[in-house]
């Protein structure tokens, strides 16, 4: 194992372990269900980073975690990680919908995607176990990748769509909206969107250089680091100066929209 590979693998373990300690502190100081969900997800990723390191070591550790066992653990943790985050986001967003919280298109689409995603991971585990494969089938892995990102994205849309949308009345003037909530929602959607794009780019690069899904310790370590970054981005409070600037921008836009002469000033 080269020095670069060793550094990346150890770095992923250190980063995820520090993140776990930090999230434990956050849960103790200011507990929320969202932070608890992020902590549980990060603990799962911390475990997979250790498995990744042990499998990559050319010692007796690699006999303890075979490649087949590693991919089984990876599939189970991938399903657990996504399920925890999605369920928490749905629970957080339901308060914005009142009695119709379980009867929206976003909620139904998210639940359907999550069921299919978890089922695909279970099928993946069974196939690897039965055939003793050293990697997942490419079509199945690709579908899991797309479904995972899509499911998390739709759960975020469900949670933050109400605060990002200005409902229109018959007089075409916007109803009162909490600019602070809109700014916070915009921040979380933006930062998680960027990290999700980076996650897809990681695998796009991996697919370009590999014809199949051979075990790649560095790629798996980067996968873990990006997943931990997503949980940190969700659990940490947004920067106050950025939120203030976004809030002022939203208030300015709303006041301009609300002006009776604004539609004529642009002519």
Q: Does 263 map to a domain?
A: no
Q: Is the pTM of this model over 0.85?
A: no
The CB-based long-range contact list for 89-95 (8 Å cut-off, 24+ gap) reads 89/34, 89/152, 89/155, 89/156, 89/158, 89/159, 90/155, 90/158, 90/159, 91/33, 92/33, 92/34, 92/159, 93/155, 93/158, 93/159, 93/160, 93/161, 93/162
Q: Does 264 map to a domain?
A: no
Q: Does 262 map to a domain?
A: no
Q: What is the pLDDT of residues 79-122, one digit of tens each?
A: 999 999 999 888 888 877 777 767 788 999 999 999 999 999 99
- How many domains does the chain fold into? 1
Q: Does 259 map to a domain?
A: no
**Domain CATH code at residue 168:** 1.20.1070
Q: Does 68 map to a domain?
A: yes
| Radius of gyration for the chain, computed over Cα atoms and rounded to the nearest angstrom | 21
Q: Does 118 map to a domain?
A: yes
Look up the domain containing 158 and give its range: 3-254
Give percent above pLDDT 70 in the chain.
Answer: 84
Q: Does 178 map to a domain?
A: yes
Q: Judge whether residue 176 has pLDDT over 60.
A: no
Q: Which of 150, 222, 234 is nearest to 192 (CA)?
A: 234
Q: Does 266 map to a domain?
A: no
35 with 26: CB under 8 angstroms?
yes
199 with 219: CB under 8 angstroms?
no
Higher pLDDT, 87 or 2: 87
In sequence order, what are the residues at sequence separation of 6 or more whose Cβ sits closer than 8 angstroms to the Cβ of residue 253? none
Sort 253 into a burial class: Cβ within 10 Å, 0-12 / 13-18 / 19+. middle
Q: Judge whether residue 175 has pLDDT over 50.
A: no
Q: What is the pLDDT of residues 222-267, one digit of tens each?
A: 999 999 999 999 888 888 898 888 888 877 776 665 554 544 344 3
Quickly tell me which residue has 């150890």 as its tokens. 10
């Amino acid at each position: 194992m080269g020095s670069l590979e060793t550094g990346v693998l150890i770095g992923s373990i250190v980063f995820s372990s520090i993140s776990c300690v930090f999230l434990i502190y956050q849960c103790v100081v200011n507990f929320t269900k969202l932070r608890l969900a992020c902590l549980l997800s990060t603990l799962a990723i911390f475990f997979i980073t250790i498995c990744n390191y042990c499998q990559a070591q050319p010692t007796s550790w690699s006999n303890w975690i075979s490649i087949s066992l590693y991919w089984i653990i990876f599939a189970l943790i991938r399903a657990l990680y996504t399920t925890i985050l999605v369920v928490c986001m749905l629970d957080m967003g339901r308060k914005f919908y009142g009695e119709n919280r379980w009867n929206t298109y976003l909620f139904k689409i998210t639940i359907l995607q999550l069921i299919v995603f978890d089922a695909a991971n279970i099928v993946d585990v069974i196939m690897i176990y039965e055939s003793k494969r050293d990697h997942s089938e490419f079509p199945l892995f690709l579908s899991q990748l797309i479904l995972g990102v899509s499911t998390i994205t739709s759960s975020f849309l469900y949670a933050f769509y109400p605060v990002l949308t200005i409902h229109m009345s018959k007089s075409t003037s916007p109803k009162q909206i909490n600019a602070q909530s809109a700014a916070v929602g915009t921040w979380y959607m933006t930062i998680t969107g960027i990290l999700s794009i980076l996650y897809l780019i990681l695998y796009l690069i991996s697919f370009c250089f590999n014809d199949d899904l051979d075990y790649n310790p560095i790629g798996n370590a980067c996968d873990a680091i990006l997943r931990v970054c997503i949980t940190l981005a969700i659990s940490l409070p947004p920067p106050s100066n950025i939120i203030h600037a976004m809030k002022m921008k939203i208030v300015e836009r709303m006041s301009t929209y609300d002006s009776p002469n604004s539609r004529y000033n642009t002519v």
